[in-house]
């Protein structure tokens, strides 16, 4: 179980006909517990989908009773009709559950510009069907229903001392930082108020989902929501809860990285020796977004010159001629000059570790990314066809 691992949660995933594949495409997660505390983070893209605009309002008071999600259509740039669709979806769930529509978070994922009457009818019917089929064993179906180009569902659970945090996520492309980088629903039965949930969630996303930069493309629909039922009756220390949420988010982020569209390498870029964390992140992200570097990794080519060229475009404080670069445990560059021959590096395994030592300070950060492959280009060239 994932989102239903914590006490006080039910879920469902149904086939509403939004996908031509006939797979599940509408999910619902409901908090049946004594607390309805909630927190969320959303994309920082200025082009926000209607469900994001709606859900930002819902979470304004730190309360949410349910999260309804659909795949097969982003409902973004669909005009006033699209926002009305989002509102109608929340109302359909609210009516089915006997709650307020203003406490229903709505999430959508799929092709931008999809949101006509046919789409609306299918989403509303799916939401009602999901509400009728809720169960504590519905977490797996819900995780499947939010998939788009994902090849597998993503679920994880972390157990605390008498309490649990569970979650599900989707995302295989358009993974770039913006407070959140995909659709994620997290649940807990720990008894904590909304402000503690919010602090834990923001702290976790900052060092997990925000550090996943698969293709440098930020979505319009990104949402990560955390719900608390308080059904365990246990109030953990804020630090312990935050650590569990971070562990859970890190697990889901790694699953997202491993399922990135068409990728053949999972690349972990570790930057050490930075003046501060911001510099380390900037340097790591510059490498992660460098198309030439990503193409080299795809070809199993340890071209460390592309790493140095990428970090030289940043504003971080370091001397380019005092930098060390290692790939899969082999230091190929020392003090800005060749070290061990590049032929000593084996990049054939799927896991690739790039270590960059800026030799300028004591801060560090890690960015997760993938290589740039023929399959990635093909899949995204045909995404809307």
| Tens-digit pLDDT profile for residues 213-242 | 887 778 889 999 999 999 999 999 999 999
- β-strand partners of 271: 356, 365
pLDDT of residue 142: 98
The alpha helices in the chain, defined as continuous H runs, are: 50-58, 79-97, 117-132, 139-145, 194-207, 238-258, 277-288, 291-298, 304-311, 374-381
Mean pLDDT of 8-31: 95
- Architecture, CATH, for domain 9-258: 4-Layer Sandwich (3.60)
Q: At a CB cut-off of 8 Å and minimum separation 6, what does 84 contact?
A: none
* Strand, helix or coil for residue 165: strand
Domain with CATH 3.60.70.12 in the chain: 9-258
Q: Of 356, 275, 42, which is closest to residue 178 (Cα–Cα)?
A: 42
* Strand, helix or coil for residue 344: helix
Category of 126 on φ-ψ map: left (φ > 0), alpha (ψ -120 to 50) or beta: alpha
| Tens-digit pLDDT profile for residues 89-138 | 999 999 999 999 999 999 999 889 988 999 999 999 999 999 999 999 99
Exactly one of 43, 148, 181, 208 is catalytic; which is it? 181
The CA distance from 20 to 47, in Å, is 27
Residue 266 has pLDDT above 60, yes or no: yes
* Strand, helix or coil for residue 201: helix
To the question of pTM greater than 0.85 for the whole model, the response is: yes
Domain with CATH 3.10.20.340 in the chain: 266-381
* Strand, helix or coil for residue 243: helix
| Tens-digit pLDDT profile for residues 20-57 | 888 999 999 999 999 999 999 999 889 999 999 999 99
pLDDT of residue 114: 86
Q: Which fold has domain 266-381?
A: Ubiquitin-like (UB roll) (3.10.20)
Under the banding of pLDDT at 50, 70 and 90, the label for residue 374 is confident
32 catalytically annotated: no
Q: Which residue has the higher pLDDT, 263 or 167?
A: 167
* Strand, helix or coil for residue 292: helix
Task: Pull the structure tokens for residue 231.
Answer: 């059904």
Alpha-carbon dihedral sign for residues 293, 297, 298, 299: positive
| Tens-digit pLDDT profile for residues 328-358 | 999 999 999 999 998 899 999 999 999 999 9
Q: Of 45, 99, 98, 101, which is closest to residue 76 (Cα–Cα)?
A: 45
Residue 382 has pLDDT above 80, yes or no: no
């Amino acid at each position: 179980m994932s989102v239903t691992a914590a006490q006080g949660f039910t879920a469902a995933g149904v086939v509403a006909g939004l996908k031509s594949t006939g797979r599940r495409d509408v999910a619902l997660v409901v908090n049946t517990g004594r607390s309805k505390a909630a927190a969320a983070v959303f994309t920082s893209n200025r082009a926000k989908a209607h469900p994001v605009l709606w859900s930002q309002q819902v979470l304004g008071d730190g309360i949410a009773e349910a999260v309804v999600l659909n795949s097969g259509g982003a409902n973004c740039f669909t005009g006033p009709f699209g926002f009305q669709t989002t509102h109608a979806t929340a109302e359909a769930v609210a009516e089915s559950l006997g709650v307020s529509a203003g406490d229903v978070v709505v999430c959508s994922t799929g092709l931008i510009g999809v949101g006509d009457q046919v789409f609306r009818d299918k989403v509303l019917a799916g939401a009602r069907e999901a509400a009728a089929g809720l169960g504590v064993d519905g977490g797996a179906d819900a995780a499947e229903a939010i998939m788009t180009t994902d090849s597998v569902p993503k679920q994880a659970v972390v157990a605390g001392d008498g309490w649990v945090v569970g979650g599900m996520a989707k995302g295989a492309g358009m993974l770039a930082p913006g407070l959140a980088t995909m659709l994620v629903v997290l649940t807990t039965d720990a008894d904590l108020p909304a402000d503690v949930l919010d602090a834990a969630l923001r702290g976790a996303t900052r060092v997990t989902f925000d550090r996943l930069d698969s293709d440098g493309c930020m979505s319009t629909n990104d949402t990560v929501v955390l719900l608390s039922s308080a059904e365990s009756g246990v109030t953990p220390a804020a630090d312990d809860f935050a650590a569990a949420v971070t562990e859970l988010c890190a697990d889901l982020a790694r699953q997202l990285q491993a399922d990135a569209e068409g990728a053949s390498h999972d690349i972990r870029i570790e930057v050490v020796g930075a003046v501060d964390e911001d510099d380390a992140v900037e340097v790591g992200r510059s490498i992660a977004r460098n198309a030439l570097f990503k193409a080299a990794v795809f070809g199993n080519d340890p071209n460390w010159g592309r790493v140095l060229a990428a970090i030289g475009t940043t504003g971080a404080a370091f001397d380019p001629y005092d930098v060390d670069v290692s790939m899969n445990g082999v230091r190929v560059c020392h003090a800005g000059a060749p070290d061990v021959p590049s032929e000593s590096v084996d990049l054939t395994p799927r896991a690739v570790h790039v270590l960059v030592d800026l030799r300028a300070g004591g801060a560090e950060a890690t960015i997760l990314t993938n290589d740039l492959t023929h399959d990635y280009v093909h899949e995204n060239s045909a995404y809307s066809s």
